[in-house]
Structures are given as C-alpha cells and as structure tokens.
Chains A and B, each alone.
Chain A
Amino acid sequence: MTTATASHDDHGHHGPAKGIMRWVLTTNHKDIGSMYLWFSFAMLLTGGVMALIVRAELFQPGMQLIRPEFYNQMTTMHGLIMVFGAIMPAFVGLANWMVPLMIGAPDMALPRMNNWSFWILPFAFGMLLFTLFTEAGAPNFGWTFYAPLSTTYAPSSVTYFIFGVHMMGISSIMGAINIIVTILNLRAPGMTLMKMPLFVWTWFITAYLLVAVMPVLAGVVTMMLMDIHYGTAFFDAAGGGDPVLFQHVFWFFGHPEVYIMILPAFGIVSQIIPTFARKPLFGYASMVYATSSIAFLSFIVWAHHMFTVGLPLQTELFFMYATMLIAIPTGVKVFNWVSTMFRGSMTFETPMLFAIAFVVLFTIGGFSGLMLSIAPADFQYHDTYFVVAHFHYVLVPGALFGIIAGVYYWLPKWTGHYYNENLGKFHFWMSFIGVNITFFPMHFIGLAGMPRRIPDYALQFADFNAIATVGAFIFGFSQLIFLFLLIKTIRGGEKATDRVWEGAEGLEWTIPSPAPYHTFAEPPHVK
C-alpha cells in the first residue's frame, strides 16, 4: 500500500535512561506503549482471576465458595477492570507503539501528556481495587452501575469508584487527543489520509469516539455523585428526575464505548490478514467508510440496551431499525476480510490464526447482536446469559483476540526476536478451545432463561454451567502460556529481520528490528 523511499534513521540520539526512572519519567512513545501493554496485561490477569472466582461459584448450583455480596463485587469489578483496565489501555498501548511507526512520525505529538495519560491509570485502578479491602466492600452494582443501585443503594465505595472513573476519563481523553493530533499533524510527507494503514484509520475514528463520549461518562458519574452526596434528584423520580435517565446518559456513552473496544481490533485484523494472505486488503476505501459509518451509527442506537425498561413504542422501533443498520457496514468488513483471504497464498502463523478466529467468532457475536437488536425478541433475551454470551463473543475472541493477534504480529518488531511459533500456536488453540467451551453454552442457558448476575441457578442449567466453568479455567490458565512466551521472546530468540513477515507492507517494517529507541527523526517520504 505504501512504500518508503527514504528510510529510518537512528543516529544522533541517545538511548533510554537506566533504571526504573526511565519508565516513570519517559516521554518515548515506545516506552509508554510498553507500559500500557504491561499494565493492561496485569489488569487482564486481575480481572481474569475475578472471572474465575465467578465461574468457580457457578460450577454447581447452590452457594459453595463465596457470599452473594462478594459475588456481586466480583462481577462488577471484573467488568470494570476488563473494559477500562485491560481492553482500552491495551489498544492505547498498541496505538502508542505503532501509530508513529506506521505514519513515519518521530514520536507522539504531545509526549509529556502521553506519559501523564498512562500514569494516571495505575493510581486510578489502585484506588478502585483498594475498595475491595474496605469494610463497605467494592462496588457491587454491575459494570453498568444503573441508578438507583449505584446511588440510593450503593456501598460507600461508590464515591471512590466515581472519582476513579473521572481519572480514567481524563486519561482516555488526553490519550485520544494525542492520537488524533499525531495522526492529523505528524504524518510523513506523502502519507495522505487514504494511504494510512487501517490500524491508523480505525484508531483515528476510535479516538474521535473517545473524545466525544468520555465527557458524557464524566457527566453521568458526576450526577450520581451529586445525587448521593448533595441531595439532587437527577435519577430519583421523587424529585422529578428519572432512573431511566441514568440509562439513557450511560448508554449514550456506553454504546460508542463498545465500538471503542472493537474498532482498533478491526484495524489490527485488517493489517494482519493481507500480510499472511500475501494480497493487498480487499476494499480499502470501503473499510474506511464502513468504520466511519459504524462510528456514526454508534451514537444513535444506545436505547437498544434498554428495550425492556419501558420506552415508547416508536422509540423502540427507531432504535431497533437503527441498530440493524449496523449489520451493513459490519458485513462489508467481514466480506472484505474474507475476500482478502480468497485465493491468497495463505500461511497460518499465530497472528493469522488469531485474526481468522477473530473474523469467525466476532461474526458469531455480531449475529447474536443482530438477534438482540430485534426488540420483541429482546424481551426474552434481556438480562439472560444470552447477552453474556453475545458480548463476551465480541469482547474476548473479538477485542482480546485482536489485541493478542496484534501483539504476536508486532512482537518481533518490538523485541527483535521471533517468538516460538509452536508455543504461539499452542497458546492459540488452547485459547480458541477454551473460549468456545466457556461462552458457547451460555447461548443455550441464556435462551432457556438463566438470568445473568445471579450467583445461584435452577438445576436444569447445571450441565452447561459446569462445562462453561471448565472452559473458563482452560482459557484463563492458557494466558500463562502467553505470559511465558512474552518473557521468553523479550529475553531472546531467533533474530527477526527488518521486514519480519514475508508479506508485510508498511513503514513499520522499514526500520530495524528491534525498533530503535528513536525512529523517523527525519520523516520518510511516502510515494
């Protein structure tokens, strides 16, 4: 797609500082990207342990291991940590590492602010996790924190949760602004918008979504704070407010948010599939337009999360049809990925395996989403395990597989070493099998009526729950293979070439492996 005429340079700059302060004080996009990625991996394991606690309790009907109060804290914290601590920072980490390399920029546009965006997060999550050890316990109202559960009936830790969300919001907005400015202003000469790699395009659109909706999240938690501590009545009908209003404002943030968690994965997969199919991406321009359409539609579909709350009929109809429209641009994307692979010279290295699994399993999640978008049918599915199955299919083999695929794809560029392909494939198959054993049965128990967020269940759901728990443990412990592989690759391995992959195209493959500390101090010229 793009070729560089003038190559990289890495002269005249000193390397990284020594010791821990290198990481604390750094303004280097690669250092900051690495910190984001390690932080998100730590959060993935933390949130994963919580998920395993939940699954262990659900292994059998009845209460075995934990109290219901603690179960609620686990589901809540699992959701919050995975959404805000694992998936989002991982994408920002990948953007930090790769966007400057892909557009030929010397660094991110605003490097000090970049560091601040990162270093807010460990403190915010530290505060959130600390509430687990307080007397009142951690937040227990679900990651969607619906009022009045999160206001009138909330534990006192909700105040810390609110300020934690504010901090994550500040971090996300600054990170997103940085990415937008970098893409708009730091592209190498000749890198026009329609020559940008799709990962850059999808992140550009994602960053726009972040800047648009994170302030709305800040608004909704601020209103909660006022209701809880200062006597306002935003979400209290007794004072003329409305608890449903909470859901409207929350999902006005929340629906773009779910695309924030998937669009960069679309971009990663759109980088990987052409490389291993050894063909240019099919329908590049339509990919850009489809991503933009999805982003636009994400603002006018929020109430499909609220079909059963009591909305006027015409509202239900509008949001039902608007939601169904999303299937069109998404279908365009899936069609393009499949068409890229069609008659390609395909090989199946680990990134490609994860990318293909992404296309297949994300599509399953997309189809169950289409089922959920049908308002009359949603009255049956709402708040059941079918919804849990749906969003875990788009978030785990969707977003998370996209992230893992990207890490495998770019790891040789980052570390200078090829990872162990056999170990990578082992990690893939364990994850693939584990994820499907975990989440596929949830479709069935959901359709049969098992409600979500309940620590106990009726006997007829026992078999599938037991299977799901086994799958969850397989999937969870498989990630230790990943951790082992990452450490092993960083410490050594077969020396990677500059191009890394035979079919790889783009500026990031023109620089040495491992990527020097400073790259593109002189911008390359893109033809």
Chain B
Amino acid sequence: MATSNYYVPESSYFPIVASLGLIGMAAGAGGMMNHMSAGGEGFVFPHFVFTAGSLLLAFIFFQWFGKVITESRAGMYSPQMDKSFRWGMSWFIFSEVMFFVAFFGVLLYVRQWAGPWLDGQGDKGSTHMLWPDFDYAWPMFNNPAGADFPGPQAVIDPWHIPLLNTVLLMTSSVTLTIAHHALRAMHRGKTIFWLAVTVILGGIFVYYQILEYIEAYTELGLTLDSGIYGSTFFMLTGFHGLHVTIGAFILFIMWIRICKGHFTPDQHFGFEAAAWYWHFVDMVWVGLFLFVYIL
C-alpha cells in the first residue's frame, strides 16, 4: 500500500543512452551476421557499430546501477520501493524461466513427436517417406539428410564433466546460502569468504563448460551443424552457460559491495536478487542435467 515518500526519480539520461547502445548492438549484430553468412571476412563497419553499442550499453549499465546503489545508500528508498524491486526481480526471473521453457519444449517436441514421426512411427509417420532410410534414435547420431547434417560421432558423457558441474553448482547454492546467513548475522568476513567461494565455483563451472564444448567440437563431432541434437544441446547449455556467467558477474559485484560494507542484516536486496538469480540458474541446470545429458 502506498506511502507518501515513494521515490520518483528526476529525468534521466540513462534510458535514451541505453536505447542508443541497444540499437547499436542490434543493428551491428545484424550486419555482422549477414556479412558473415555472405562469406565476408574481417572487421567491417557493423563490427564497429556492434562493439560501440555494447560498450555504450555496458557503460550506461554501470552508471545506472551505480546511481541506484547511491540512491539506495542515501536512504531515498522506502520499504515500499524495496517491495517494487522485489516484485520486479521476481517477474524478471519468471520471464527468464519462460525463455528456457521454450527451449525445453522444443527438446520435448523433437524427442517425443518429430523424431519418431520421421521414423514412420505414430500418427504422422507418413513423413518417413521423406527419408526412408532414417531410423530415429536419441541421441541422433544419424540425421535424416546425413550429407547436409553429419551427425555427431558421440555425445557428452553425463557422468564426467556434467556430473562434476552439477556438484559444483549445487555446492555453490549451498555456499551462497551460507554467505546469506552470515550476512544476516553480521559476520562480514564470513560473508566475503563464502560469497567468494560461490563466485569461484561458478567460474570453475564455466571453465569446465568451455572444456566440454572444446571436446564436443574437436573430438566428438558434436557441433551446431550436427543436426537437431547439436542444435538443442548447444542452445540449452549455451544459454544456461551465458546465464551462469551473468549470475557470477552479478555475485562478483555483490562481493565488491560487501567488501565496501554496503549491506546491513535487514537491507540487502541487491544481494538477495543476485541470490534468487543464482538459484534460478541452478534449477535450470538440474533440468539440463536430467533432460539434456542423462535421459
């Protein structure tokens, strides 16, 4: 319910500069990809636009979030404002969940329906006539048109790097919770330590994920071009890895803020938002480990 001191900021140059950064990134990326697919090489104008846009957006995000931190520390935010941030972050995470739902849905559809149909099974098995030699199996080592889409020779063994990564991420969730409890108990040193452990675990996860990708590309023939298995594999794990990277970066910012003594036991929503995000990224990984790697 409203209170009389809800903070409405004065006019701000952040949004318009952020829009300029975003259009630079979007138009630049579009140009870069068209240049690439047309067989072009080298650093051309779209690359410059993309780089400039990205830097501008990153710069303005630092400014923008910095301003929010300054305002927060100046006591300009009421408990009601705090609640706005909480609702905002929750719904943002919900939108991220729906982003992943789309890709998990794609995986389900391909494995449950499209694949078997191409093999002549089920209600729409007549599609088998397209590639009569195709036999459906998952992982799909032989694609319907093997010449255009050579399948992978092997896929990632879930019980090596992915299992290790599962342990790493699960542990990081625990260490993050320990850090949170320490923060609430005013044990700053302990908070700094356990949060640092969390960020490092996230970093190791990303490192192993990169190793896994290198193995996939160099040894297994599992690539973006290796048919629907590679497509779904890299889309799901890639976007997850991107989110881990972002989450670890946010936690790192929180680590710096804690070192600077920013949070109090009652007021540390920045930290909590980062923690929510991290747990969300963790939960996505559980889904990936089950449905992409094991099953």
Contacts and interface: CB of A to CB of B under 8 A. Distances in A.
Contact of A163 (B30, B37, B96): B30
Interface in A229-286: 229-234, 236-242, 244-245, 248-249, 252
Contacts of B143: 233, 238-240
B179 interface: no
B99 A106 contact: no
A170 B23 CA distance: 12
Nearest to B138: A240
Nearest to A127: B27
B91 to A, nearest CB: 5
Interface string B45-89: 000000000000000000010000000000000001001100110
Given A215-B96, A240-B144, A245-B114, A115 B106 contact: no
B168 interface: no
B231 A186 contact: no
Given A123-B22, A212-B94, A523-B3, A239 B109 contact: no
Interface secondary structure of A, over-half rule: helix
A160 interface: yes
Interface residues on A, range: 35 or more
Contacts, number: 239
A156 B64 CA distance: 35
A27 B231 contact: no
Interface in A89-118: 104-107, 109-113, 115-116, 118
- Specify which of A116, A239, A314 lies most central, judged by the most chain B CB atoms within 10 Å of its CB: A239
A232 B91 contact: no
B230 A523 contact: no
B110 interface: yes
Contacts of A361: none
Contacts of B127: 237
B106 A119 contact: no
B213 interface: no
Interface string A463-494: 00000000000000000000000000000000
B38 A218 contact: no
Contact of B2 (A17, A187, A214): A187
B22 A167 contact: yes
A15 interface: no
Nearest to A240: B228
A62 interface: no
B269 to A, nearest CB: 14
Interface of B: 1-4, 6, 8-16, 18-20, 22-23, 26-27, 29-31, 33-34, 36-38, 64, 80, 83-84, 87-88, 91-92, 94-96, 98-99, 101-103, 105-106, 109-110, 114-115, 118, 122-124, 127, 130-131, 140, 143-145, 148-149, 223-225, 227-232, 234-235
30 contacts: A27-B8, A106-B2, A107-B6, A110-B88, A113-B15, A116-B15, A120-B23, A127-B27, A156-B38, A159-B31, A160-B30, A164-B26, A177-B91, A185-B83, A186-B80, A188-B1, A188-B2, A211-B94, A211-B95, A214-B95, A215-B99, A223-B106, A226-B224, A231-B224, A232-B225, A237-B114, A238-B131, A238-B144, A238-B149, A240-B149
Interface of A: 17, 21-22, 24-27, 104-107, 109-113, 115-116, 118-120, 123-124, 126-127, 156, 159-160, 162-164, 166-167, 170, 173, 176-178, 180-181, 184-189, 211-216, 218-220, 222-223, 225-226, 228-234, 236-242, 244-245, 248-249, 252, 310-314, 518, 520-523
Given A27-B11, A104-B2, 14 more contacts: A22-B11, A106-B6, A116-B18, A156-B34, A159-B34, A160-B27, A176-B91, A189-B1, A216-B98, A219-B106, A228-B37, A240-B114, A240-B143, A522-B4
